[in-house]
Structure 1
Amino acid sequence: MNVILQQPSSVLVVSENVETVATVRTALADASDTTVRHEPDPGDALDTFVDLDEIGCVVLDESVPDVASFRTELAERDDLLPVVYLAPEADRALLSRLSRFESTTYLPRPVAESVLRKVLEESRERYYRKRVTAEESDMLRAFTSELEIPVFVKDEAGRHLRMTDVPGGADQDAIVGKTDREVYSYDPEAAAEFYADDMRVVEQGVSIHQQDEASGPPGNRHWTRVSKVPWPADDGSNKGLIGVAMDVTDLKEMERRAEQLRERLEQFASYISHDLQNPLNLASGHLEMAREDGDEDALDTAAAALDRVDEMLTDLDHLARQPPRAGGGEYVEVPFVARQLWSFVATEDAELVVEMPEPTRIRAPARELRPLLENLLRNAVEHSSTSPPSHAREDAAGRQPSGEPAVADAPADAVEHSSTSPPSHAREDAAGRQPSGEPSVADAPEDAVEHGSADVTVRVGALDDGFYVGDDGPGIPPSERETVLQRGYTTAEDGSGTGLALVAEVAERNGWSIRITESADGGARFEFRDALVVTEPESAHQTGPSIRLTEESAVPGGDVAGSADYDPSSDTWTVRCDTAGETGPRSCYVAHAVTDGSVRIQARLRTVDHVHDRSSAGLWMGDGLGETDAFGSIGRTVGGQTELVYRPEPGGDLARTVLVENEPHEWFRLERTGETLTCSVSVDGTDWVALDQRRVALADPVRPSLAVSSAVPGDPCEATFSTVRTYELE
């Protein structure tokens, strides 16, 4: 039977002296729960322990030969078993040897019966408690080592004493002896909170149940559901705490996704209600006109509006179902889409001015760019009136209350200007565009912000790395520019606060940033940056003389080393980069030429050999090899993603875009004309598609290059290139 369930009930007397046996029996005569056993022979006494578990104490006297040796044999069988030694005289040498055993008590004879009884009962009771403690300790050891339940024990100072070794858990050697302030030092706020809870449990005796705790940086939080209870001591104080910590990070992620889904469903419903109102009213009004006047053009307009309803439902369904994918996978011609959408939002006094070249394309799904542009155009038009929004367009059919049709519903080309109109601020830098960005989450529907007089000019233009939509109304006060981006924000009684929320969501899905500022005409201007923009998809330059790559360099120098070797028999370059220590954020090794003017380099990147997904290889072009010099590059990461990296201005910040493609690209081209860099890809090295055009302040001479970047010091990255061609451009 387990020692916890069976309390020892026997005292074994090992002696040839019958007086000793009688003394023990007399002392325990009133103890009904205790049995006295007698074994005169020490050898037989040792055998007794094989069959009996109820012995709780052993009594010896001087009749036992070599008492110290016998005591040692007892300890080898059970080191917790107490021994009482009765002897008439104190043999100092023997007592010294017996004192090495903690549970040995010496009583000189003669001894009072009451004293002997007390010693024997207390010895037996201590033995039972020690055996129970040892058994429980063994149980806890098995519990913490065998069961995959994350249990931990801490002392009065909050230091870890023991914890379960569970798969994926923390390293015990790194945790034991440390408090949570040390274990979670990477997150000081969380560490202080966890430690304070430990001290409340220990010092105040408070129990904590099912408390969710988080540690780590935002976006990468680790969640634990913790219960802690006091670990009481015999004196009534607490000598520590015992707890259970369950990893609920996956559960929290599921809860987050469920909440996102709920919000998505709510947003989808609000978007449908908001966006369909205009084309449905337009179709209804023109159907009424057709019934009254027999106007076939009105029927055509109604049919177009209903087609737009179907298109909008498809777009919104895409937003609701498809996961975000930065940069999308297609390019949309912005001027065409803007004019197409204008026909559904324009009023009599509204004018659209497209301030970008006709072929300008932005990398984004058309189903996402259309809702963004339509809501921005509608926001500008419907808030251009100082009258209530319901009077800005007297009805969606474009008619006054009298029923007379208004000119406002004329097709887009009747009211818009093309890119040949005098640009007021479309091309605001030497490359013809401003720096780039990404739209943020915004939300100002038709009633969110009032935008001025009855007539409005809306301008759509290109930035250096994005685009903008602006108007000439009174604008948005700086204090409201962040607020209008919040879903549900509105300044009108009948507003829903939905339109700009959809704009913001599209921006966020595509990795764009958004900035609301004042336009050159004093109105509101929404700038979207960190987008990929191509204003001239087809290169207008012919190739001139070819250029050889004759030099190799580290960018920057210092701890960056490498090599570049050309094999003429296979027309293959092998470039290797190794960072030996701390380097700049885009350290690489390049094989390059040095030339002036317009230039193009193209190559097939066959392999990139490295273990770190931030390492990459591709084409690079800069006017210097320093850490802060301007440059642009396009290539492929070890993970197969297309990567574009720029430093547009000397000493400026890096801009990095990573595109997730269905298939990794192998063919890359980098072209410099003036201060514009064009990054292109191809599937066969013949037909090229421009991914991005951006202003980069490069001065002559420039260095068209093959480049390899290693992200891990001491772990080189190697790439092979073939069909490398470099040309001057005419």
Structure 2
Amino acid sequence: MSYLLVDATSVLVVGESETATERVRSAAPAADIVTVPSVGDALDTLDSQDQIGCVVVLEDPDRQPVEAYQEIRSDYETVPILVFAPESACDVPALASHWDLEYLPTSVDDGTVRGVVDDALARHQDRRREAAESSLFTTLLEDGDVMIYAKDTQGKYLYRADIEGNADPESVIGKTDVEIARTELRERAKEAYRDDMRVVETGEAIYQKVVDHEYGDHEDRVRTTKIPWRDQNGEILGLIGISENITEEKTYERRLKQQANRVDQFIQRVAHDIRTPLQVAYGSLDRARAGEKAGIEKAEEMIEQVESTVTDLHRLSTDVDTSTLSGSSIRSIYLEVLTTDLATLFEATWASIRTGEAELIVDLPEETVIAAETETIRPLVENLLNNAIDRGAPDVTVRVGTVEPRGFYVANDGPTLDEDDRGEASHSETDGTGICLDTVAETVDRLNGEVTVEGDEEGVRFRISDIPVITDADRSFRPTEPISIDENRDIGPVSIPGSAEYDDETDRWTVVGNGTNIWSDTHEFHHVYGAGNTPVRIEARIESLDGCDEFSKAGVTIRSGTDERAPFGYVGTTDAHGSEVIWRLAEDGFTDSRQFEELPDTVSWYRIDYADSIMTCYLSAAGDQWYPVDQRPIELGDDVTVGLLVCSHDSKRTSEAVFTDVRACKLDAE
């Protein structure tokens, strides 16, 4: 039983004077009197009995009472100690010089003894409770991994939890949020300070307040509770708060909803695989009737594509319970869902709307894809094409091409725009110009991109940028000289050292890693690597990941070096959120990530190619057919490191991943 559940109401009397013992017993009848003959026995009793609330030291002919006090106090710092002995047996000045030692001469009356003993018992009870509460608070601050803090009436920090990735608590003591905030967080800090003042001035708590904040490409969400901190008289001393970053929690909730729609998306994908070629076929037949020979050829090609899809579905329906083929086929189809061929989508959408004499020119590099589901992108494409037709003349020409960084444009030679209609696309309804950008803006926002509208004498151009468009994924490279992966080390200030072991007989790497995260300015993981000269490739199959957190991660990476802040690209798996890409494009950049939330066991192979300062990340179900899912321009220099990494996403635990078929090599363009 905890000592906090036992009332400290017993008095420990140390000494052999029966007369003095009876005086104490009669003076404090409500207390339980425990007697021992010596200091050694007293120490044993204090060690075994939690109910002792004070110690009374009696006269000892062989030693001064102050010596007994010192021996007891060396082991028990908080228990009150009283000396009850004749003045002739004590060095009274020596007794008076010690903290928390009260001297009672035997000449005092019983009422005085009772008062002093009762005060000592009450003081010890309060002191023990306060010490426990202080210890609890200190434990929460130092080890709780929760942002708890206390501030004074001016909003200045008095205490703050020591959380990894945050400023040292000592560096913020005596300062307000505004004084310690970075420039990009200053407005949020001002709002937090206003909340502090409201709590201390009104005495009203703020519960579960959620604040969203964006800076750069990053967005986070924090939930905060602040309550008045009062003394025993009810006077406000400041506030106590707890703040929790719930960005991942909210993101996880959103992704769970997305996961609930995966079956519908799979069905939609199958429908799309049939509907899209049929739409193109219908449009081609119309052109064939108008005398275009190429229209017949295109229609036949699309009908063959429909036939192929139906054949695949038939094989799935007859094989679903008996063969691994069905599982791999489903995974293959689902991987196709992760990307959309832009040219095909534009052409199919164009064929499905009434275009009249209008003409579509698609000037995209061959095999240009966007790493997003077709049903996510289709409304954007439909909106842009319909808008171009509505704004233009009957014979309007619509062009589609690529833009930097990572995007595409849709332009038409229709009427130009007024100055007020150019710039960022934020219109919510048509305003006489024919522009309606709700769907466009919403879709681009979901992809964390940007849409702008440009106009000149030649027409109007919608520019969609900073989205996962991949224009150069199918460059032909020939693997040449292998790169030896033979080094491993921890990157960043991990709490638990990682390790890596290679089994030559099974061609398996077993990698154990610690680390808080790989995100923002935090880079903590175990890295297994080799050095090479660009262009290079790294690929591997992740056989298993024994994660300790939903965002524990393992994958392949190409970096400019082993420095913690080195630029890099990464693709791999997480414990509960599917595949993930992570980028840091410069040493002073911001490390950001994207999870794909695909169905479990969809992907087990991962690959990165880096050539001509372009890095492309790929996923594969079986290592034979690769799907590009992200591509970025990134300057790493000629000398790079290629290899594996594991991050536990938990500073107190490690995660273990098993990699097979790890291949790193230099590349030559074919």
Q: TM-score, normalized by length of structure 2?
A: 0.50
Structure 2 counterpart SS, 1:469:
strand
CA distance in 1, matches of 2:457, 2:617: 36
Q: Secondary structure at the match of 2:72?
A: helix
Residues 215 and 221, structure 1, Cα contact 8 Å, conserved in 2? yes
Q: 1:303 to 1:71 in 2, by over 3 A?
A: same
- Distance, in Å, in 2 between the alignment partners of 1:351 and 1:51 is 94
Residues 425, 452 of structure 2: 8 Å contact kept: no
Against the structure 1 CA distance between its residues 341 and 152, is the aligned structure 2 distance closer, same or farther, given a 3 Å change threshold? closer
Q: Does 1:118 align with 2:115?
A: yes
The aligned residue for residue 441 of structure 1 is: none
Residue 11 of structure 1 aligns with an amino acid whose one-letter code is V
What SS does structure 1 have at the residue aligned with 2:116? Answer: helix
Distance 1:609 1:472, change over 3 A: closer
CA distance in 2, matches of 1:74, 1:124: 17
- Write out per-residue CA displacement over residues 538-563 of structure 1, whole angstroms, 9 at most, x where no aligned residue: xxxxxxxxxxxxxxxxxxxxxxxxxx
SS of alignment partner, residue 7 of structure 1: coil
Residue in 2 aligned with 1:526? 461
Alpha-carbon distance between aligned partners in 2 of 1:34 and 1:344, rounded to the nearest angstrom:
94
2:188 and 2:103 mapped to 1: Cα distance? 56
**Which of the numbers 108, 123, 127 marks the counterpart of 1:130?**
127
CA shift for structure 1 position 365: 4.6
Q: CA deviation at 1:70?
A: 0.9
Q: Within 2, Cα distance between the matches of 1:179 and 1:364?
A: 51
Within the candidate set 454, 462, 473, 1:516 is matched to: 454
The alpha-carbon deviation at position 7 of structure 1 amounts to 1.9
2:249 is paired with a residue whose SS is helix
Describe the superposition over 1:295-342 as per-residue Cα deviations: whole angstroms up to 9, x where unpaired: 9879x999999999999999xxx99985578xx7x88999xx79x969
Q: CA deviation at 1:107?
A: 3.5
CA separation of 1:200 and 1:323: change in aligned 2, threshold 3 A:
farther
For residue 66 of structure 1, report the CA deviation from its aligned partner. 1.2
User: Contact (CA 8 Å) 1:332, 1:365: kept in 2 or not?
Assistant: no
What secondary structure, in the 3-state scheme, does the structure 1 residue paired with 2:91 have? helix
Task: Find the counterpart in structure 1 of residue 148 from structure 2.
Answer: 152
Contact 1:27 1:116 in 2 (8 A): yes
Count residues in correspondence. Answer: 462
**1:220-235, aligned counterparts within 5 Å?**
220-235=218-233
Q: Give the direction of change, closer, same or farther, for the CA distance of 1:217–1:89 in structure 2 (3 Å limit).
A: same
Contact (CA 8 Å) 2:56, 2:82: kept in 1 or not? yes
Distance 1:174 1:615, change over 3 A: same
Match of 1:640 among 595, 606, 609: 609
The alignment's C-alpha RMSD in Å is: 6.4
Q: Match of 1:24?
A: 24
Name which of 463, 469, 478 aligns with 2:411: 469
Q: Structure 1 residue 17: deviation in Å? A: 5.3
Equivalent position of 1:83 in the other structure: 81
Whether contact under 8 Å (1:11, 1:37) holds in the other structure is yes
Normalising by structure 1, what TM-score?
0.47
- 2:129 equivalent to 1:102: no
Pick aligned residue for 1:67 from 65, 68, 84: 65
Q: What is the one-letter code of the residue matched to 2:609?
A: G
C-alpha displacement of 1:249: 2.1
1:129 Cα shift?
Answer: 1.5
Counterpart of 2:130, as a letter, is T
Distance 1:322 1:176, change over 3 A: farther
| Residues 1:478 and 2:419 are matched in the alignment | yes
Q: Residue in 2 aligned with 1:440?
A: none
Give how far 1:206 is off. 3.1
Corresponding letter in the other structure for 1:154: A
| Pairs within 5 Å for 1:316-715 | 322-323=337-338, 345=354, 347=356, 364-365=368-369, 379-383=387-391, 458=397, 469-471=411-413, 473=415, 475-481=416-422, 486=427, 489=430, 497=436, 501=439, 514-520=452-458, 524-526=459-461, 528=463, 605=535, 610-611=560-561, 614=567, 640-642=609-611, 658=614, 660=616, 708=637
Provide closer, same or farther for how the CA distance between residues 192 and 94 of structure 1 changes in structure 2, counting only shifts above 3 A: farther
**CA shift at 1:217, angstroms?**
2.1
Distance 2:8 2:442 in 1: 76
- What's the offset of the Cα at 1:132? 2.5
**2:15 is aligned with 1:5:** no
Distance across 1 between alignment mates of 2:432 and 2:303 = 30
Alignment-derived partner of residue 291 in structure 1: none
Task: Verify the 8 A CA contact 1:283 1:305 in the aligned structure 2.
Answer: no
**Distance change (3 Å), C-alpha of 1:104 and 1:503:** closer
Structure-2 separation of matches of 1:243 and 1:80: 30
CA 1:185–1:2 in 2, change beyond 3 Å: closer, same or farther? same
Contact preservation (8 Å) 2:159, 2:169: no
Q: Secondary structure at the match of 2:68?
A: helix
Alignment counterpart, residue 185 of structure 1, candidates 182, 185, 190:
182
CA distance in 1, matches of 2:414, 2:236: 72
The answer on 1:54 being equivalent to 2:10 is: no
- Residue 128 of structure 1: how far off its partner (Å): 1.6
Kindly tell me: are residues 639 and 102 of structure 1, through their superposed partners in 2, closer, same or farther at Cα, counting changes over 3 Å?
farther
Contact 1:604 1:723 (C-alpha < 8 Å) held by counterparts: no
1:171-205 C-alpha deviation (Å, 9 max, x unpaired)? 66666776544564352222233344345445544
CA drift at 1:108: 4.6
Cα shift at 1:144: 5.9
Question: Partner residue of 2:208?
Answer: 210
Quick one: structure 1 residues 222 and 312, their matched pair in 2 at CA, closer, same or farther if it must change by over 3 Å? farther
Identify if the C-alpha distance between structure 1 residues 89 and 221 changes in structure 2 by more than 3 Å, giving closer, same or farther. Answer: same
Contact conserved, 2:224 with 2:243, CA < 8 A, in 1? yes
Distance 1:103 1:504, change over 3 A: closer
CA distance in 1, matches of 2:534, 2:83: 93
For the residues of structure 2 that align with 1:508 and 1:130, how far apart are their CA atoms?
56
Q: Which moved more, 1:39-48 or 1:524-533?
A: 524-533
8 A contact 1:460–1:470 mirrored in 2: yes
What is the one-letter code of the residue matched to 2:122?
E
What CA distance in whole angstroms lies between the structure 1 residues aligned with 2:17 and 2:447? Answer: 95
For 1:106, the aligned partner's letter is: Y
Larger Rg: 1
Instruction: Quote the offset at 1:98 in angstroms.
Output: 2.5
What residue number does 2:657 align with?
A: none
Q: What letter matches 1:76 in structure 2?
A: S
Q: Do the aligned partners of 1:6 and 1:54 also contact (CA within 8 Å) in 2?
A: yes
Mapped to 2, the partners of 1:144 and 1:458 lie a distance apart of 65
> Mind listing any 5+ residue stretches in structure 1 that lack a counterpart?
288-294, 385-450, 535-602, 617-637, 645-657, 664-690, 692-705, 713-719, 725-730
Letter in 1 for 2:418: P
- Which runs of 5 or more residues in structure 2 are unaligned? 310-332, 472-532, 538-557, 570-606, 620-630, 642-664
